[in-house]
Structure formats: C-alpha cells, structure tokens
Structure 1
Amino acid sequence: MSAARTASYRRYLMCPPTYFRVTYSINPWMDPTKPVDPALALLQWEDLRDRYRSLGHTVEILQPLPGLPDMVFAANGATVVDGRVFGARFANPERAAEAPAHREWFLNRGYGEVHDPHHVNEGEGDFAVTESWLLAGKGFRSSPLSHSELQEFFGRPVIGLELTDPHFYHLDTALCVLSGDEIMYYPDAFSPGSRAVLRRLFPDALTATRQDAAAFGLNCVSDGLNVLVPSGATGLLRRLRERGYEPVPVDMSELHKAGGSVKCCTMELRD
C-alpha cells in the first residue's frame, strides 16, 4: 500500500531561456551542429513555470543575460538552505559569469548570508537536500573539496557520491529527492562504493532504468506529492503512482539538447 502524501508549499527560482542556444559542448548531450528552436524552448519553459504556479507554488524570476545561453538552468547557480545561500563556482569558463549574477540576485533581495565559494561546485546540479543529509555529487563538474566547504557553511552532514557516467554529469541527472529522506536514482550512474552508500542510507529508494534516466527522468522536482517529471520517462509514471505520488509529465525536450530538464531549470529557495 502506498504512503499518504501531501504537497508542501515551495518557492522556486527560474530564468527564462531568452538567449538559449547550444553554441558549445560541455556535456555529451550538447551538439552545436544540431539546431535549437528557441521559441519552442520558451514555450516549454513557460509551461513548467505555469504548472508550478497552478500547484500553488511561487516562482521568482532571474533575468537572463546575453552571452549566457545556459543561464536557463537556474538550479546550477546556488544552493539555498534555511535562507542561507551557498553560491556556485562553475567548472567551465562559458558559464562562469552566471555565478555573480545569481549572487547579485540574492543580495538584492535581502539574503544576509551569501557565501562565495572557494571550490568548484554547480549548485543544485550536484547538491541535493534531504531531511537528514546533503548529498553531494563529484566526478565531472564539482570538486570534492566543495563538500567540506558545504558542510562547514550549512552545518549539515554531507554525503559524497561519485558519478562515473559522463551522460549523468550532475547529481540532479541521476538522483531526485522525492520527500524527506525518500529518493529515486539511477544506480549505474554511480561508483560501486557510492551505490553501496545509497543502498545503506536509502534501502527503500525507487531505482530507475537507464531508459528512464536517459530521458532525464531523474531530473525532476517534487513538492512531496506532485512530481514534475520529463514526459519521456514513461516507466517512472506508474512506479511513482504506486508510491503515492502524483506524476505530472512535462515536455522539456528542447532543453534536453543542452543536457537539462525540469530540475535543471528550477532552483528551490528553502527560506
């Protein structure tokens, strides 16, 4: 029998894909030779934004900057816990200017503790917040040195997880927090030791197939009941319902061309 679920109110930060293009390649999904439809990307982004609002959540907007085509992936700009902001430091120079743009947004809105990190991390791309832990990915786009820096700043235990498949270059492409300490993840995206840690900490986790993971099915957002999940991850829909969740399929196929989907476009403001 599935558990009883309830949705909790969330605040999100999103950035419109005004300048979205694929003009360089920093992950295996990006191919600058394949055309991108900016108008379709905007429609899909607006649909995601409107779905959050229809569920009763608040969506704040970060204004995009020219020359930063990946700024639409707002989740990468920081990690917010208890109103404290741990900023990003991007691995690739193409995205470096996004970090100060995010910091400025938080400072202008009165956030008192905004940390400018010393070590490379890409925000909620590689950091996931559960009730008990901060899960921290490493291997491609975040330094393992960022994990101790994160723990010192938030005063919460950090669990390091090694990513080994370049198609799942960020933690949020391979793992999603559903509610509390309940997660779903794709085991083969992780090293053997990290898989063992995940099995120990989350023995009842929902595990995804490669087909659903490759459809960005783990790059989703849950409010504790409703799970906004990329529509191509069809195998996860029934399994989420069996767990008592309400999957909300969303078409983000144009954003997939840059290696991102629902979660990549959504930073949670945990104030």
Structure 2
Amino acid sequence: MAFTRATGKHRGPSRLTRKRAGIAGAAALATTGVIGGLASPALAADTESPSFEDTGLTQAVAAGTTLAEQIDAQAAAQQYEADLAAARAKAEAEAKRKAEARVKAAREAKERAAREAERKRLMSYTLPVAASHVSTAYQAGGSVWSSGSHTGVDFHAPSGTPVVAVGMGTVVEAGWGGAYGNNIVIKMKDGTYTQYGHLSSIGVSVGQTVTPGQRIGLSGSTGNSSGPHLHFEARTSPDYGSDIDPVAYLRGHGVSV
C-alpha cells in the first residue's frame, strides 16, 4: 500500500523539499538565461577588493594620524616652551650672578681703594698749622733763647688757631713744659718726635694715638713767648737738645713748607 504525505495549511514543506525547490528554481533560471545576467555583476563585485574609501577606514586612519600628530606637536611645543623658559631662567640667573659679581668686585675695589687711601693718609704728613708760614727760622740766634739759638721754628698763628699733629703717632707728653708753656710731644711712627709749644689749650692726653691732621690743641702765647705763635720742633728723642731742622724734616715727609 502506498503512503502519501499529507498536505495542507498546517504543515509546511520539509527542508529537503525546500532544497529541491531551490535547485529546480535555479535550473529554471539557468535554462532561461536569467542566472547568467545576474551572476556576472555579482562575481565581478566579489572579485574586487573593497577599498578604504568604500569602507570609510581611510577617514578613520587619517583622523587618527592627524590626532597623533597634533598630540606630538603639542608635546613638542610644550617641551620647546619648557626649554625656552629654562634657558631664559638660566640666562637671567647668569646675568644676576654676573651683576652681583660686578657689584661685589666694585665694592671690594672701593674698599681696597679706601684702605689704601687711609693707609696713605696715615703715613702722610702735614703742616702743624694750616695755610701758615715760618715766622722765625731754625737756629736763629738771640738772647731770648737760653741755648743761644732757636731749637725749632715758629709758625705764624693768631691765638686760638687750631694746631694739628703733623703725622701719626702717640702722645708722650701733654702739659706744662716750662719755657715752652703748654706743650705736647708726640712720638711719631718713624721713631722721631715732634713738639708743639706755647699752646693756649691742650686737647689730647698722654698715651693717645693721633693721626695726621688731627687737632691736638690751640695756639697761644704761654711760657717764654713774645706773642701768639706755634713753636714747632722735630727731635731724635723726647729730650731737649736732640733737635733737628724741622723744615727739612717736614719736607722730607712730603710737606711743602
């Protein structure tokens, strides 16, 4: 007895049936020539490789490359700015160091010059009375001097005229000196001695160090004196009788007399 497959709306065709139908349809299309016309473009499309332009990949890669370049360029720019700032800071620091060095060098040079000037000043000599002149010469003869001659020189100086140390030294006598009246004796740096007599007042004391041009008293006419003036002596010792030519002494130390 032969069995037949039931058909109806509640039963769909089997897979084998669908496959056979598809084959039959394809054969029919091949018979009519339709499949050839459809196959050619399809095969042509399959044989061509898809381009980046067709897929949009080129735009994505181009966009990615541009972003990377922008990031690199930004990083390079930032590094350049950092290097420039570092170079500028280094240059400013170097300029500041050089400026400070110049200021320091100038200050040290100024200090050296000041020390040298002070050293020269301390080693210098000056007149005992400014802008004065010798009114009585050294070893002038006469009865007014007990030794028979003048042991120093007299500088013209009205009473109260400032009297200064002719050079640097130490006061070894300051007070009454008999015929010299109020007098001061200074031991000089070179080992010689200078004397200032007939003073109206004394402004220093024994043991005090004095410098060139420092005021030590005021001129007057005390002691054995015929009128206001300054009696000035140069000696090899603090004792009377060791006198030397005071004008030659001052000139020997660079003083114009």
Task: Tell me which interval the TM-score lies in, with the shorter structure as reference length.
Answer: under 0.3
Which one scores higher on RCO, CA 8 angstroms, separation ≥ 6? Answer: 1
Q: TM-score, normalised by structure 2?
A: 0.22
TM-score normalised by L of structure 1 = 0.21
Identify the structure with the greater helix proportion: 2
Largest Rg, 1 or 2: 2
